[in-house]
Chains A and B, each alone.
Chain A
């Protein structure tokens, strides 16, 4: 009896609040947000999330506190499992890049991209075809008419650089010899040391070499020319259909409440519009802007998954079931 008026009052005030403040009234977030990086500190995931946290703090984007945690291991598999253990809880936001798609395809993780809620794509890493400054190769046609099998450096077999190399080889109708290296640093030194004829590499890793005139970019694998490299033609405008890039996005756990999803989506949408985001993250890391909202990102993930599935299957790299 005693509590009834109180209860009524609570319900009533909640209703009023709901009418006035449609989002906050649902009480999300009830505590600080946790950003989950699937790789160790200093890696691409970690850098993106820490930049997000920094920009959110500097621009007072949300009231809730943000904490970045690292769940490294298993090429992202550990973080997939961790996020999955918080099913239905919207307080977790995880960085998702190509490993989000490829790890479940190549190894038995028991989860895949469908077990998470896409929130947004924040940018893309296209692939740049670069040669050392002293190379004779000036255009794509020089590659086509090289008269011998050229050596190409890139990331691991089955990764985007390899898939893009196969596309170039098909489009130009030449045989190319792809040599996998571990990480962009090793690819860049292999190219500078003239161990290979050209390299397929992510723009951020070589932009300084291009600016200082030690490497020359021949083509970029985007639909349109990138703002960062206004003088570098796309493969497409040269008449070769090579469009390939990996993505940098964020996902939340499976089955989170609609208001949590709306809150996270809005936060990320406003974040990527800030000039701080462009200045502190996109530009220094050489990332091409490419925002997609939750629904478009979901569709994009599905498409990307099937692209990888086809390519990895052709290379015989899909996990055996």
Chain B
């Protein structure tokens, strides 16, 4: 641990040249912009910047890429809060609480809270990366498909939380999501399912679906109801977007919990930031004393997932830097960048190329500081930019969404997907079908399906795999316990209430 610290101090000295600081600052801003654009997420941001890094020293180049990666996590929340269009998948949950706050005229506040939560999450993840990376990675690889399946089950149980007032409608939305997720090639069976056109061989891109469902769907509702967002006064004070002490105290525990969840899940290869945000949200709603506020702009439901998705960035770097195993789409591209810089990603990376790895970590720490500063100071700019375009907001959001959809694969197919799901999103809102369960099923069902089948295959046909090893059994009991308790809580509570009423 002391060893880590001395490495880091040397690295800070190396990284903190004026050119590098400027580079990291610009990388963060570019990442913020890329993340804010619907359709362009961390993978696209890193990939777009990669050619720029070829002439640089490895430390500068990798700092640039990780700065962009972190920046996209800050950026994703902007459009989610301001126009209900998550810029990338980890920002879906942000839209669920952030946009209602915006509608109530507390958009600046929502941006402030989420920026601070993002910062705390990022720093927490970095501390874990700095002090415990090798230890965490050695334990994380012992989790296999059975444990992952249980984790997915926990994520899917969040559907109950998101269901809203009508469980039947939530169930229908969930099942349609599951159905949609089965399209495309399935690596476990090797079959290509329901790919009626070649574009569907890799399945329906769920980023195109969320852009349509949230962004365009919202616009259609707004046009019909002639909604104008409540922007507050044009000139507002710092106190309106920097959360006060009471608010900070309110979100402090949720932010810490989100940070822990984000780092933990970010480490696991194949899980990543999106699932971390879902699980952080479900945890907060379960722990909240006023769960009825969720979905209407509960600040703890905003802070915790935001902390989680930023903590997942250093989290996913842990297996990459210690083992050469990428834990997310973004780090998969970083793996390519490491090779391009002549490094050998693998178990020896942190020993052979210690200066570069620690330099990159120092760069990421600096990026996180810069991003907090720029994201807080720019809040008035973002909100006032939205005010300026408010008369044409709907047209601009539609343009953003369609360009974003195009940029997923640089083709028109995803534009059509977005348009179709825009109409579906509108119809769902009109008919009061919740969109949360739908999107959750679309994201998690294929993962759950694959992990379940892998588990059973590993058990050579036996379900005993879920209780065989002590570690797996602990996971199984914990998750099933949480899910069953969640299911049983409402009926038991109503039964107890009834008894009490009868007695009284």
Taking beta carbons and an 8 Å cutoff, which residues of A are in contact with B? 40-43, 46-47, 50, 54, 70-75, 77-78, 81, 103, 106-110, 149, 151, 155-159, 162, 177, 179-183, 185-186, 188-190, 192-196, 207-209, 211-212, 214, 284-285, 312, 315, 317, 319
Interface residues in B184-213 (C-beta closer than 8 Å to A): 185, 187-192, 195, 198-202
Give 25 pairs: A residue, B residue, CB < 8 Å, sorted on A. Answer: A40-B47, A42-B336, A43-B336, A70-B410, A71-B410, A73-B201, A73-B202, A74-B202, A78-B199, A106-B191, A107-B192, A107-B201, A156-B188, A177-B457, A177-B460, A180-B457, A189-B323, A194-B142, A196-B458, A208-B324, A208-B344, A208-B345, A212-B348, A284-B342, A285-B339
Judge if B347 is at the interface, Cβ distance under 8 Å: yes
In the assembled complex, the Cα of A161 lies from the Cα of B336 at a distance in Å of 22
Nearest CB on B from A274, distance (A): 17
Chain B residue nearest in CB terms to A155:
B187
Judge if B270 is at the interface, Cβ distance under 8 Å: yes
Chain B residue nearest in CB terms to A44:
B336
Decide if A74 touches B187 in the complex (CB within 8 Å). no
Measured between beta carbons, the chain A residues less than 8 angstroms from B46 are: 42
Decide if A179 touches B346 in the complex (CB within 8 Å). no
Nearest CB on A from B147, distance (A): 10
Q: Which 6 A-B pairs have the closest CB atoms?
A: A208-B346, A156-B187, A157-B190, A41-B47, A42-B333, A158-B190
Nearest CB on B from A36, distance (A): 12
Measured between beta carbons, the chain B residues less than 8 angstroms from A54 are: 54
Decide if A189 touches B141 in the complex (CB within 8 Å). yes
Q: Which of B191, B269, B458, B460 contacts A186 (CB 8 A)?
A: B269
Decide if A317 touches B348 in the complex (CB within 8 Å). no
Measured between beta carbons, the chain B residues less than 8 angstroms from A319 are: 192
Measured between beta carbons, the chain B residues less than 8 angstroms from A162 are: 190
Measured between beta carbons, the chain B residues less than 8 angstroms from A72 are: 409-410
Q: A156-B190, A182-B270 are in contact. Are A75 and B410 (CB under 8 A)?
A: no
Nearest CB on A from B438, distance (A): 23
Q: A73-B411, A179-B458, A317-B190 are in contact. Are A208 and B348 (CB under 8 A)?
A: yes
Q: Which of A188, A193, A207, A284 contacts B144 (CB 8 A)?
A: A193
Judge if B252 is at the interface, Cβ distance under 8 Å: no
Q: A40-B43, A73-B409, A78-B409 are in contact. Are A157 and B460 (CB under 8 A)?
A: no
Measured between beta carbons, the chain A residues less than 8 angstroms from B270 are: 182, 186
Judge if B87 is at the interface, Cβ distance under 8 Å: no
Q: Which of A46, A78, A182, A188 contacts B450 (CB 8 A)?
A: A182
Decide if B332 touches A74 in the complex (CB within 8 Å). no
Decide if B325 touches A188 in the complex (CB within 8 Å). yes
In the assembled complex, the Cα of A185 lies from the Cα of B344 at a distance in Å of 15
Nearest CB on A from B371, distance (A): 23
Measured between beta carbons, the chain B residues less than 8 angstroms from A190 are: 144-145
In the assembled complex, the Cα of A179 lies from the Cα of B465 at a distance in Å of 14
Nearest CB on B from A85, distance (A): 13
Measured between beta carbons, the chain A residues less than 8 angstroms from B434 are: none
Measured between beta carbons, the chain B residues less than 8 angstroms from A192 are: 141, 323
Nearest CB on A from B21, distance (A): 27
Q: Which of B199, B335, B345, B457 contacts A179 (CB 8 A)?
A: B457
Interface residues in B155-204 (C-beta closer than 8 Å to A): 185, 187-192, 195, 198-202
Judge if B454 is at the interface, Cβ distance under 8 Å: yes
Decide if B454 touches A41 in the complex (CB within 8 Å). no
Judge if B383 is at the interface, Cβ distance under 8 Å: no
Q: Which of A110, A189, A211 contacts B325 (CB 8 A)?
A: A189
In the assembled complex, the Cα of A213 lies from the Cα of B202 at a distance in Å of 36
Chain A residue nearest in CB terms to B413:
A73
In the assembled complex, the Cα of A43 lies from the Cα of B46 at a distance in Å of 13
Measured between beta carbons, the chain A residues less than 8 angstroms from B337 are: 42
Decide if A195 touches B269 in the complex (CB within 8 Å). no
In the assembled complex, the Cα of A72 lies from the Cα of B333 at a distance in Å of 15
Q: A77-B199, A182-B270, A212-B348 are in contact. Are A157 and B185 (CB under 8 A)?
A: no
Nearest CB on A from B25, distance (A): 24
Chain B residue nearest in CB terms to A213:
B347
Interface residues in B23-51 (C-beta closer than 8 Å to A): 43, 46-48, 50-51
Measured between beta carbons, the chain B residues less than 8 angstroms from A189 are: 141, 269, 319, 323, 325
A179, A186, A194 — most chain B CB neighbours (10 Å)? A179
Decide if B409 touches A151 in the complex (CB within 8 Å). no
Judge if B143 is at the interface, Cβ distance under 8 Å: yes
Decide if B409 touches A180 in the complex (CB within 8 Å). no
Judge if B272 is at the interface, Cβ distance under 8 Å: no
In the assembled complex, the Cα of A110 lies from the Cα of B344 at a distance in Å of 40
Measured between beta carbons, the chain A residues less than 8 angstroms from B189 are: 157
Nearest CB on A from B473, distance (A): 16
Nearest CB on A from B482, distance (A): 24
Given A73-B411, A179-B454, A181-B454, 11 more pairs with CB closer than 8 A: A77-B199, A78-B411, A108-B195, A108-B198, A109-B198, A177-B460, A179-B457, A180-B188, A190-B145, A207-B346, A211-B348
Chain B residue nearest in CB terms to A104:
B198
In the assembled complex, the Cα of A103 lies from the Cα of B198 at a distance in Å of 9
Decide if A81 touches B348 in the complex (CB within 8 Å). no
Chain B residue nearest in CB terms to A193:
B141
Measured between beta carbons, the chain A residues less than 8 angstroms from B344 are: 208, 284
Measured between beta carbons, the chain A residues less than 8 angstroms from B319 are: 189
Chain B residue nearest in CB terms to A158:
B190
In the assembled complex, the Cα of A109 lies from the Cα of B340 at a distance in Å of 33
In the assembled complex, the Cα of A196 lies from the Cα of B457 at a distance in Å of 11
Chain B residue nearest in CB terms to A181:
B454
In the assembled complex, the Cα of A41 lies from the Cα of B185 at a distance in Å of 20
Q: A72-B409, A157-B187, A196-B458 are in contact. Are A42 and B348 (CB under 8 A)?
A: no
